[in-house]
Structure 1
Amino acid sequence: MGDINEIRMQVMWNRLISVVEEQALTLLRTAFSTSVREAGDLSAGVYNAKGEMLAQAVTGTPGHVNTMAEAVLHFIAEIPREEMYPGDTYVTNDPWKGTGHLHDITMVSPSFKGDELIGFFACTAHVVDVGGRGFGADGKSVYEEGIQIPIMKFAERGVVNKDLLKILRLNVREPDQVIGDFFSLAACNDVGHRRLIEMLNEVGYDNLDTLGDFILSRTHAATMERIAGLPKGSWSNEMLTDGYDEPVKLAAKVTITNDGVNVDFAGSAAVSRWGINVPLIYTKAYACYALKCVVAPDIPNNAASLAVFNVSSPSNILNAGRPAPVSVRHVIGHMVPDVVLGALAKALPGQILAEGAAALWNVHISVRPVTGEPGGRAEVLMFNSGGMGARPDLDGLSSTAFPSGVHTMPIEATEHTGPIVIWRKELRPDSGGDGKYRGGLGQVIEIAPAEGHEFDFSAMFDRISTPARGRAGGRDGAPGSATLDDGTKLRPKGWQHVPAGRRVKLELPGGGGFGDPAERAPEARAEDLSKGYVTEKKS
């Protein structure tokens, strides 16, 4: 009988995961912003009544999923239980209580079965605009970066807060897109709730308590079993990133004990005066993701698996407090896994992939007619990825978003959002670091305003002066570059102008190689040459 019950609970666990997958797909199908609809820059999850994450959707980014795991607790602390009602939806974009910057909207909805609060559904998505300076690193404080929405009710008992919508409309450049995404987020949670109630009614459960206890206890036991098999001790690593106008040092010390894994970021650079700072909630999210990739990649991500990881930092660029500017916190935040993995590579030699491009090469474009007329203006957001680092037994993946996991945005979808033309988007030969296993390739992209238009764009690039390092004798990946088509160098971060008739040319960085290049198989080198991954002079 015990075995049958175990199987039944496992089936219900899988069913719960399918519930949150449908929750996420609702957001993908109804979202207005291309960053959500095309790139999957979102997350969705279900939580018990205590606010502990039970399951997450596979669709989504670690930065959103893992910050949301903590964010739900902030919502519960802010809104008293007696003020929660069926049909409610709560919202915030607070960088320190949400997911790290103002462009991410987090919505949490209580789930009631009858009069009993049985859990919560939460989701997050990146919206195209939140006002202020726009999506860029130029702000000197969070107050310049856009509208701040404290934890509050988006809807109470199913009635939407119209005053909040009015405030949003007057503070953002693309009100229809932004408000459309707000409703998509709320609908996403509502679908999750309805599917959960259907599931509970079908199996005859009144709440999530029994299933939740099963999920968390099994996950904890499995994760601790993996911890037991790791070497014990402390290992440190440092790396440089480009920063805004000077290199930024990131440092991590990883300590593995019988009780779990601790990461401390003491020694990292001080809080920056530019918007590249990272709230600790986001640093934790990506540090935990790196640890989980190594320690327990096949164990479900929930409150129990995350609980064995402890992340700390004194006040610095990876733990920047309010009101530090944090708009492009992802650039430095996406480097966190490489810092952590570099320390783990010393504990587990030969088992950790090389460094990669890491940070997305996002481009936010504000395009307008050269005549200055109001019609024809648009805000366009484009996500691009460099190469992943080579793995201990495989080449690195080319133009792949690691660690964020967002999808490539199709050219057609991007051009549809505004008057721009993408003239070129192709793999960049010779950009992957040489080694027994080659680093993934970056890509070359050329973007221009459509005829009769010009644009300003916000650069959010890294790995230009500090390329991805190889591992175990592998060579470094090629650094990136950003220029106009006439060769004019552009800054790696910040808002810049592109006049009519000119193109932005982006050469994205490649991933580092793994192992001695002399050990690369001749047939692999021949294939690299035949596919154009390397040129003859490099082969």
Structure 2
Amino acid sequence: MIQQAPLGLIDKQILWNRLIAVVEEQAQTLQRTAFSTIVRESGDLAAGVFDVRGRMLAQAVTGTPGHINSMALAVGHVLDRYPADVMKPGDVFIHNDPWMGTGHTNDFSVTTPCFRDGKLVAIFACNSHLMDIGGVPRMSGSIDVFMEGLYLPILKIVEGGVVNDTLMELIRANTRLPIETEGDVYSLIACNDVGCERLVETMGEFGIDDLAPVADHIIDASRAAVLANIRALPRGSWSSSLTLDGFDSPLELKAKLTISDDGIHVDYAGSAGMVKQNFNVPFCYTIAYTSYALGCIVARDIPNNAGSLEPRTVSAPPGTVVNALKPAAVVARHLVGLMLPDLVFGCLRQAIPDRVPAEGAGVLWGINVSGPRVSPARHNDSFVVGIVTTGGMGALPVRDGLSATGFPSGVRGGPVEIFESMSTVIVWRKQYRQDSGGAGRQRGGLGQDIEIENGIPEMFELASSYERIIHPAKGFDGGLEGARGVVALSTGRALSGKGRFPVQPGERLIIQSPGGGGLGDPTARDRAAVEADLANELISQDAARSLYGLNVAQAAE
């Protein structure tokens, strides 16, 4: 046998970049073939490659932190159940355990060992959101995880290239959308297959039969780069708190962040305990969004992998809302999870105020509606469809917050044309929500105004699961808070942020997503920027005059 020549540093770096390209193609395959609208149109997914020890080497740019950073842990759980030495070519593993995956049962995780010439060389993983996997239709009605649909432990869905038809039949039988759900499972399997094919081709091109040297280089270089950035920050501990709307009463979150030579640690001691409702957060999801928030500060230009994640550590007392224990209800875990970056930024703002944004909407206001396509008498002819609605990002020290963005989730707003084509509803209006961005030297991002009505004379239902209706995003350093979110009917009736509500024929559903907080004194805002906001109708004349101190008449000349 010819001895493989050692890889040089340049070879390792090229291979690292190729791995990132491989997993991006993997993710694009998943997005193009997915049946789920939130995956296909909004990118609610993750894809990545791992070494045989279960360390994440590269993740696709396409995806969300909640999926990606929890996927980084999920492969380890699969290896605990099926060690590498028992994996065979053609095997594929699946699960949707919230505590081992992405935090709720609607997200399926698929893991595929990749072999080259009969030798295990890597492991590919992906996950995505499925629109329906059974459970109670009232989204806010679940009180434990067993009410939230099909619950799959880590199982082998393909063995030696043969699909487990019994398991696939079980999946089909536990969803209101059997065709779409089965299609999404095959989409997940296919995406890993594409990743493996490209990796094997790459290894053949470079003449290597082992990724270990590249894996060690990726992990070691990334860890060192993040630690160098952390060591450039002030040392110490800082605390912050954040109040959320909750269900019947406000929910308080607390965090203490400590920066040391060894890394950054965030502890959530003092946060509210688990709740009866379903916005409890499994710890993997807490880790995911905490790590992401820290990464925005200390790893912006460093690829995300096991090495760059290692110096960012998290703890939370078991039984708190951010470390919920099975069988807690968790299907709406994003309501709390997406707020964790603002809580982390609240700590960092005290240490490095010139690098941290104001609070943002932190929302994915999914408009999830269901109803009959023709008549309630035809029970099987119904639709269950969702579209992602986004809000405003908090203002940054150097620029305005982004408008109508899913930050920090990374999920994009979905096109209304797809939403309408899969249901009977009509979206009459979808536009920026004027004056919703918190005023400031740097303005907060705007939310959206959306108006929806059924196109047939039948009732449809909204399943709402929203935050920032009572407690808006705060501004800082003189900046004002963003606008609160609103859910209402055209009749004037206000709806709760959490529940299931009928929309009768002739009524319109009004959704106004919240805005981000402003940063700095609004009267110090550049006059040209205020005039541009006014001309683009992002702010009203009243706001330009009363909040920003603009002479509207003079500006119009």
Normalised TM-score (structure 1):
0.98
In the alignment, is residue 264 of structure 1 matched against residue 282 of structure 2?
no
The equivalent position to 1:138 in structure 2, one of 123, 130, 141, is 141
Give me the whole-angstrom Cα distance separating, in 2, the residues matched to 1:506 and 1:64: 26
Query: Alpha-carbon deviation of 1:119?
Result: 1.5
The worse-fitting range, judged by mean Cα deviation, of 232-241 and 242-251 is 242-251
**1:149 matched residue in structure 2:** 152
Cα distance in 1 between the residues matched to 2:91 and 2:6: 39
Look up the match of 1:491.
Answer: 496
**Which residue does 2:344 correspond to in 1?**
340
How many residue pairs were aligned? 538
Distance 1:375 1:144 in 2: 22
2:518 match = 513
Distance 1:259 1:157 in 2: 44
Whether 2:28 is the aligned partner of 1:38: answer no
After the TM superposition, which segments of 4 or more aligned residues of structure 1 sit over 4 Å from their partners?
A: none
SS in 2 for 1:216: helix
| 8 Å contact kept, 2:138–2:500 | no
Shift of 1:453: 2.7
Of the three residues 319, 325, 332, the one matched with 1:321 is: 325
Q: Does 1:372 align with 2:377?
A: yes
| CA–CA separation in structure 1 for the residues paired with 2:100 and 2:74 | 5
Relative to 1, partners in 2 of residues 1:371 and 1:190: Cα closer, same or farther, differing over 3 Å?
A: closer
Paired AA for residue 486 in structure 1 = T
**Equivalent residue in structure 2 for 1:440, among 438, 441, 445:** 445
- The percentage of counterpart residues that share the same residue type is 46
Q: Return the letter of the residue paired with 1:395.
A: D
1:375 positional shift: 4.9
Per-residue deviation, 1:388: 0.5
Query: Which residue of structure 1 aligns with residue 483 of structure 2?
Result: 478
The answer as to whether partners of 1:359 and 1:462 remain within 8 angstroms in 2 is yes
SS in 1 for 2:353: coil
One-letter identity of the residue aligned with 1:253 = K
Residue type matched to 1:229 in 2?
A: A
Root-mean-square deviation (CA, aligned residues, Å) is 1.4
- Does residue 314 of structure 2 align to residue 303 of structure 1? no
Q: Does structure 1 residue 527 correspond to structure 2 residue 532?
A: yes
Instruction: Tell me the secondary structure at the aligned position of residue 335 of structure 2.
Output: helix
Return the letter of the residue paired with 2:269. A
Contact 1:89 1:186 in 2 (8 A): yes
TM alignment of 1:96-107, pairs within 5 A: 96-107=99-110
Q: Please, which of 113, 116, 121 is the counterpart of residue 116 of structure 2? A: 113
Distance 1:350 1:8 in 2: 38
Q: Deviations over 1:456-506 (max 9, x none)?
A: 221011101000001222110010110011111111012221122211101
Q: Does 1:229 align with 2:227?
A: no
8 Å Cα contact 1:427-1:441 kept in structure 2: yes
One-letter identity of the residue aligned with 1:507: Q
Matched with 2:91 is 88
Judged with a 3 Å threshold, the aligned counterparts in structure 2 of structure 1 residues 3 and 154 are, in CA distance, closer, same or farther, namely: closer
SS in 2 for 1:415: helix
- Give 1:350's aligned residue: 354
2:223–2:309: 8 Å Cα contact kept in structure 1? Answer: no
Is the Cα–Cα contact under 8 Å of residues 109 and 127 in structure 2 kept in the other structure? Answer: yes
3-state secondary structure, aligned to 1:383:
strand
Q: Alignment partner for residue 166 of structure 2, among 163, 166, 170?
A: 163
Q: 1:361 aligns with which of 357, 361, 365?
A: 365
Match of 2:552 in 1: none
- Encode CA deviations 1:118-174: one digit per residue, 9 max, x unaligned: 120000100010101147222010011101011001111111111111111211000
In structure 1, what is the Cα distance between the partners aligned to 2:445 and 2:84?
Answer: 50
Aligned with 2:128 (options 125, 132, 147)? 125
Deviation of the 1:3 alpha carbon: 13
- What CA distance in whole angstroms lies between the structure 1 residues aligned with 2:377 and 2:342? 44
Deviation at 1:432, TM superposition (A): 0.5
- For 2:332 and 2:250, how far apart are their aligned partners in 1? 16
1:288-320 per-residue CA deviation (whole Å, 9 max, x = no partner) reads: 000000112111100001000110001210010
1:390-447 residue CA offsets vs partner (Å, 9 max, x unmatched): 1101011110110011111001111111111111110000000011010000001112
Deviates more, 1:425-434 or 1:447-456: 447-456
Instruction: Give the distance between the partners of 1:453 and 1:210, measured in 2 at CA.
Output: 62
In 2, the alpha carbon distance for the partners of 1:512 and 1:225 equals 31
Counterpart code for 2:441: K
- Matched-pair contact (CA < 8 Å) for 2:138–2:499: no
How far apart are 1:374 and its partner, in Å?
2.2
TM-score w.r.t. the length of structure 2 is 0.95
SS at match of 1:476: coil
Aligned equivalent of 2:204: 201
Q: Which residue of 1 aligns with 2:72?
A: 69
